[in-house]
Amino acid sequence: MTKLKLGDLAQDKPVRLTIELPASVHRDLEAYGRVLAGDGAQPVAPARLIAPMLERFMATDRAFAKARRQSAPSGPA
């Protein structure tokens, strides 16, 4: 099986957003959903992939983590 960056998708209370994606990105999300599901399984819908992908991207972005730590409050006053 292919090792993907996304594993099982966590269930969480969603916040609804409406976005527009380039058609090529949507096709890639559909392909990713098929690969993630595996052979013979129901493909994962593109909409279910976007949040975990963004979460993973932000979690592994060192510059973002550093900026976030620097802008965080320093504790109770």
Helix boundaries (H) for the chain: 23-37, 46-59, 62-71
- Does residue 14 fall inside a structural domain? no
Asked if residues 58 and 74 have their Cβ atoms less than 8 Å apart, the reply is no
Residues 20-66: tens digit of each pLDDT: 999 999 999 999 999 999 988 999 999 999 989 998 998 898 888 88
Q: What is the spatial distance between Cα 27 and Cα 20, in angstroms, rounded to a whole number? A: 13
| Total domains present in the chain | 1
- Does residue 27 fall inside a structural domain? yes
Q: pTM to 2 decimals?
A: 0.71
- Does residue 38 fall inside a structural domain? yes
pLDDT of residue 71: 87
- The tokens describing 12, both together, are 């969480």
Range of the domain at 33: 23-69
Q: 55-60, long-range: CB within 8 Å, 24+ apart, which pairs? A: 56/5, 56/6
